[in-house]
Amino acid sequence: MLPIRMYLRPVLWLGFFAAILAAWWTMYSMSTGMGLDLLGRPGPAAQAMRGMDPAMDMAMPMAEFGPLMSMWAVMMAAMMGPTMVPTLRAYDDLRGRGAGSRAGWLGVLLGYFAVWIGFAALIAGAQLALLFGGAIDLLGIATSLWLSAALLTLVGAYQFSRVKEACHGVCHRPVMYFVGHWRPGFTGGVRMGLGLGAFCVGCCWGFMALGFVGGVMSLLWMGLATLFMVLEKLPQIGHRLLRPAGVALIGAGAYVAALAAGQV
């Protein structure tokens, strides 16, 4: 009989992908349950929600921190899980050479998502501030084209920054991070996961903020953002996408600004 440890690798990977699929199914159920279609377009029920006052004396999960943070945490699992595959594979390769362990692999995963859950709390707080400030509605959609234009331009400009370049460099070459910051065991894996998660937030926070342009519950936005972040982290092509994406986002921001000014 094969030892149990021979089965651990496929079990861990299958569990990882199953968690991602479960997160996507949860987001799909939440989005359609709120009356949105697959493109994020609101139906009659969702349109009625957009016009509600978040200060009304009634239960509104999208206007409460706990449910909102939980929604963002599930969204982080759905969107950022696929982007972590190259990092986990890099650790797996090192483990195969005797430099790591299954416990360390799990530690990297947990540390990484601990950082993103912290970010979920931060952006949930930002969403509530924007909501009660009248900048977005209950669906998380900007109420002003000027805000949408500003977000698109800001995230586009960030693609050219040294901070983005530095953070992307770590995400793009995770094996170099492991070599330079190696820590053994589960605790060491958690520490490395926390570091990688921090760089990943620095790399990808802007694409989360863009959810306020089209609505944070839009499955179309989630899918496109996830696809781009996965491509951005691929060793073969990731570094070639930074500036073209920045140009595209700045151009989109200029177009939305023109719409806001009534020139288009």
In tens, the pLDDT along 65-85 reads 999 999 999 999 999 999 999
Mean model confidence pLDDT for the chain: 88
pLDDT at 1: 42
Cα angle value 126/43/135 (rounded, 5°)? 25
Cross-strand pairs, 42: 36
The answer to whether residue 43 sits within a structural domain is no
The answer to whether residue 32 sits within a structural domain is yes
- Distance between CA 69 and CA 122 in Å, rounded? 8
The answer to whether residue 11 sits within a structural domain is yes
Number of structural domains the chain divides into: 1
Domain that holds residue 11: 5-38+61-260
Mean pLDDT is highest, among 47-56, 57-66, 234-243, for 234-243
Model confidence over 220-263: pLDDT tens digits? 899 999 999 999 988 778 888 999 999 999 999 999 999 998 86
> At residue 102, does pLDDT exceed 90?
no
- Distance between CA 36 and CA 15 in Å, rounded? 29
- Distance between CA 100 and CA 251 in Å, rounded? 45
The answer to whether residue 45 sits within a structural domain is no
DSSP class of 181:
S
pLDDT at 194: 97
- Distance between CA 74 and CA 20 in Å, rounded? 9
Cα angle value 36/39/41 (rounded, 5°)? 45
Of the listed ranges 26-35, 57-66, 102-111, 245-254, the least confidently predicted one is 57-66
- Distance between CA 194 and CA 225 in Å, rounded? 22
> At residue 57, does pLDDT exceed 60?
no
pLDDT at 27: 93
User: Encoding tokens for residue 29?
Assistant: 């159920």
**What is the value of pTM for the model shown?**
0.89
The answer to whether residue 253 sits within a structural domain is yes
> At residue 2, does pLDDT exceed 60?
no
The answer to whether residue 121 sits within a structural domain is yes
- Distance between CA 84 and CA 200 in Å, rounded? 9
Kindly state the percentage of the chain with pLDDT values over 90.
61
Phi-psi category of 30—alpha, beta or left, where left has phi over 0 and alpha has psi -120 to 50? alpha
The answer to whether residue 67 sits within a structural domain is yes
Q: How many CA atoms lie within 13 A of 7 on its CB side?
A: 4
pLDDT at 204: 94
The answer to whether residue 54 sits within a structural domain is no
Asked if 187 and 107 touch (Cβ cutoff 8 Å), the reply is: yes
Model confidence over 132-171: pLDDT tens digits? 999 998 888 899 999 999 999 999 999 999 999 999 999 9
Query: Phi, psi (5° rounding) for residue 136?
Result: -135, 165
